[in-house]
Structure formats: structure tokens, C-alpha cells
Structure 1
Amino acid sequence: MKLVTSFDEMGFAGKDFFYLIKTMLIEQRISFNEMLSSAAQGVGTRVHEGLEFVLEEDLDHPDEFDGVVFVIGEYESSILPIADYVYLIELLCRAYLLEFPSEESRILANLDRVRSRYFDATNSSEPNEQ
């Protein structure tokens, strides 16, 4: 599956992100729409104790944000570069819309907000070279 491969290509942080999304959907504690809406506001997602990712609005000093921090267990597990995070969010949105096309306008609006939050209009959302 291309989606899983894309996450795996991002290394340990990509695998952490995939695990978090998979767990979030299986446990149904937060919906994809809620996660995406929070991301558009710069707020990470906490699936449950010991499984979350942190964005800039979760930090005491948002200006020091330089990557998406994943917490697995009691400790920081990995950090995903911002460009890679946005790229993976885009892939997730495309996959989600294949299953739920009726939610296209809301998903794309939040995706645009995520893109504009982390990139200016001239940047590409291709992942960083590893």
C-alpha cells in the first residue's frame, strides 16, 4: 500500500505518525476531521495517555517549533520535519477522500489552512530529502 510505504519512507517519525493515526482510527477517540481541524490551528492530537503529537500551539514557546514531536509512552519518541508532516497530511487527506468524498469541502479547507500555516505560497509540499 502506497500510504504505508510513504510513512515508512519518513523513517522512525513517519512510522510513529502512522501508528498514531492507525490507533486513533481504531480506538475512535478522535475523528480524522477533528485531528485535521486541530492541525489547521497548530494544535496536535492526543489519542490517549502516552500517544500524541505536538504542534507549535501546544508549546510554551511556539516560536521554537521546528518539527512535529511524537510522544509514544512517557517520552518523546521522534521528530518529523514540518515539510514531511504536511506531505503526509496531504496523503492522508487524499486517502480519506477516496472513502468519504462527501466531506471534500471541509477536508480541503482544513488542508489549505495546514498548508498556509506551514508554507508560504511558493514552497512545495514535497518531503525533505533524508
Structure 2
Amino acid sequence: MIEKIEWLENEEEYFLKNDGADLYELILTMLKKQRMSFSSFLYDASRGIGNTIREGLGCSLDQDLDNPDEFDGVIFWFGDYESSTITPQHFVRLMQAMSDSYINYHPNDKVKIEGYMNKLKERYL
């Protein structure tokens, strides 16, 4: 089943204006290519695990590092190079905006998504 993505596409401008373009593109590609659901991505992120959507496209969180204590930013990569790095706190703010939009379109998932967001906040705020 293809996950509808209007909830994300309607928020594109917000992410572009708030240093969230790489996260937006990562999630958009992930959904279009049906690699993972948004809730699965959020669940992994709440556990400190980033994702590789395809070769040369992904993000890294603390559990992806050899030494998680050295984690100081969420790293995005497109191709063979790092594209950008944002603070964990900014990542949480962007994921909150994305989650709010998702819940507006998928109210039945509200409890699950809010639970993952709470764990993400506990981890990085």
C-alpha cells in the first residue's frame, strides 16, 4: 500500500525556510520509493537510529556512530558527501512539525506518533 504524502508535501515551504530541506527530501524520497513508513522512521529516530533510504541517501543519529558520546549533530548525506548537519534539538523541532502534520492527516495514529515523539524528545532535549 502506498502511503499518501500530501501531509508532507503541504509542509514543504516550512522545511525549506527552517533549515529542514535535507530532512524533507529524505522523508519525501523514502515515502515515494516506499522504503519505510513515516512512523517506522520516527520509531527508529526515537531510539537513536538513523536510516539509509538508498545508497547515498540517509541520515545518522547517535547510535550510528562508533562512539555515541561524540554525537553532536544529525548528519544528512546525499551522494558521497555530507549534505548538512543540524543540532539534535533542531532535528526534534523539525520532526515535531512533521509529526503534527502527519497526525492531522492520520488521526488514528496520534497515540503512536506522539509516543515516539516523546521518546525522541527525551533522548535529544
* TM-score (normalised: structure 2): 0.88
**Is the CA contact (8 Å cut-off) linking 1:68 and 1:85 kept in structure 2?**
yes
Aligned to 2:46: 40
Structure 1 residue 2, shift from structure 2 partner: 7.0
The match for 1:8 is 16
Q: What's the secondary structure of 1:46's corresponding residue? A: strand
Please tell me the root mean square deviation across aligned C-alpha atoms, in Å.
1.3
Q: Distance in 2 between matches of 1:36 and 1:58?
A: 15
Superposed CA offset, 1:26-68 (max 9, x none): 1111110110000010000111111000000000011111110
Q: Give ranges in structure 2 of 5+ residues lacking alignment.
A: 1-8
The aligned counterpart of 1:110 is 116
Q: Are residues 1:84 and 2:84 paired?
A: no
What is the letter of the counterpart of residue 102 of structure 1? N
User: Whole-Å Cα distance in 2 between the matches of residues 2 and 9 of structure 1?
Assistant: 13
Distance across 1 between alignment mates of 2:40 and 2:112: 11
Aligned equivalents of 2:10 and 2:104: distance in 1? 14
Q: 1:22 maps to which residue?
A: 28
Contact 1:10–1:84 (8 Å) recurs in 2: no
**In structure 2, distance between residues paired with 1:71 and 1:61:** 19
Matches of 2:73 and 2:41, distance apart in 1:
17
Question: Offset at 1:5?
Answer: 2.6
Cα distance between partner residues in 2 of 1:6 and 1:57: 28
Take 2:51 and 2:106, find their aligned partners in 1: how far apart are those partners?
21
- Partner of 2:11: helix, strand, or coil? helix
Kindly, what percent of the aligned residue pairs are identical?
A: 37
TM-score by length of 1: 0.85
Separation in 2, partners of 1:114, 1:81: 13
Asked if 1:54 corresponds to 2:60, the answer is: yes
Matching residue of 1:123: none
Number of residue pairs aligned between Structure 1 and Structure 2 = 117
